[in-house]
A and B are shown apart, each in its own frame.
Chain A
Amino acid sequence: MLRPQTIQKKDERTLGIVWDDEHESVYDTTYLRENCTCAACRDEWTGEKKALPGSLPKAVHPLTIDSVGQYGLKIVWNDGHRTGIYTFEDLRKLCQCSSCRSLVPAVP
């Protein structure tokens, strides 16, 4: 499994991850928040998103980001949401760098 080497705040609205294969990912924080996979944000059976894209405040950003075991990151958001665990696998799929964005569609 791919793992991040470093994670950093690129700017107020952008998270940067450098992976151990040296790929550099960037994530718009609202996009990350919209793609939270926790049970409150996504139907556990159908996988359907419960919060519609665009329905979140534009200024949503993380407060803290911490490791969960050795497989993911837990993000606590400034809108009070704190139940999401982003696995490294999901994060890599969600990469929004210019080359990945053209290859992988956003999760519906």
Chain B
Amino acid sequence: MKRIAVASGKGGVGKSTVAVHLALALAQKGFRTGLLDADIYGPSIPTMLGIKERPSLKENKVIPIQVRGIFVVSMGLLTTDDMPVIWRGPMVANLLQQFLQNVAWGDLDYFVIDLPPGTGDAQLTLTQKASLDGAVIVTTPQEVALLDARRGLKMFQQVNVPVLGIVENMSYFICDQCSKRHDIFRSGGGGRVAQELGIPLLAEIPLDLKMTKACDRGEPVVTEPFQKLADKILEEMPREKPGEFHLRW
């Protein structure tokens, strides 16, 4: 199983949108794909996938919800819509460990983990416990987002997780009236950061009103930019992960 973390330094850049579409694209390629919404404080994946039911338990393990060909677990499935999760770091770390260990994920080919924004407890727990094969950093073209993207990238470098590349979301907008491309949040920022840090720019995803509406309805559709993103990630994914050490004295 390959574990891919989808991360961002800053919130609101479309990280969950990228994670959902990436998981769906991988499933459409025939891979058995799991999606963990690790954004404990602001889980949005159940809405995007139109999931209403709660996961069931079997032999003390949570059974992930199967939807559109992927297997999903999210904090949003365990709380009611408007209940905020107000937890300290150790609680978050514990729950994420439960999500990794006590969910009957089955024999997955790909496991996509949608991280909360930033570089905090959840990120640290997952880099320590989930043995990630690679991370994808999502950003928008503005300088404030790029600054945080650099921080996110450095966090993964510090803990030796290969960064597969940068995804620039909300890259541009094609007007449905004049068919002209508009670079609403400036242009080329993701590419510049990728070049500066020596990692690939995996995709430039346009602002797409149809996609936004589809996600709000809980009926996402894998469009071409996301298919290309999945192809690129499969290309960049390291073939082998270094082994683990366990020594009894």
Contacts and interface: CB of A to CB of B under 8 A. Distances in A.
Interface majority SS (helix, strand, loop, mixed), chain B: loop
Interface in B220-249: 241-242, 244-249
Contacts of A64: 246-249
B245 A67 contact: yes
Interface stretch (B17-25, B37-45, B90-98, B154-162): B154-162
Contacts of A67: 244-246
B177 interface: no
Interface size class of B (residues with CB under 8 A): 10 to 19
B249 A70 contact: no
B60 interface: no
Contacts of B158: 71
B127 interface: yes
Interface in B116-163: 127-132, 158-161
Interface string A1-42: 101100111000000000000000000000000000000000
Given A8-B247, A63-B248, A69-B160, A3 B242 contact: yes
A62 B241 CA distance: 26
Contacts, number: 54
B130 to A, nearest CB: 8
A66 B245 contact: yes
Interface in A52-108: 61-71, 73, 78, 88
B119 to A, nearest CB: 14
Interface residues of A, number: 20
Contacts of B130: 69
A29 to B, nearest CB: 9
Contact of B131 (A3, A63, A65, A69): A69
B160 A73 contact: no
A70 B240 CA distance: 13
26 contacts: A1-B160, A3-B160, A3-B242, A4-B245, A61-B249, A62-B247, A63-B248, A63-B249, A64-B249, A66-B245, A66-B246, A66-B247, A67-B246, A68-B128, A69-B127, A69-B129, A69-B132, A69-B159, A69-B160, A70-B131, A70-B159, A70-B161, A70-B242, A71-B158, A71-B160, A73-B245
A76 to B, nearest CB: 9
A9 B128 contact: no
Contacts of B244: 66-67
Nearest to B157: A1
B249 A69 contact: no
A69 B123 CA distance: 11
Contacts of B159: 69-71
B246 A65 contact: yes
Given A1-B160, A3-B160, A70-B161, A65 B247 contact: yes
A3 B127 CA distance: 16
A69 B158 CA distance: 11
Nearest to B243: A67
Nearest to A61: B249
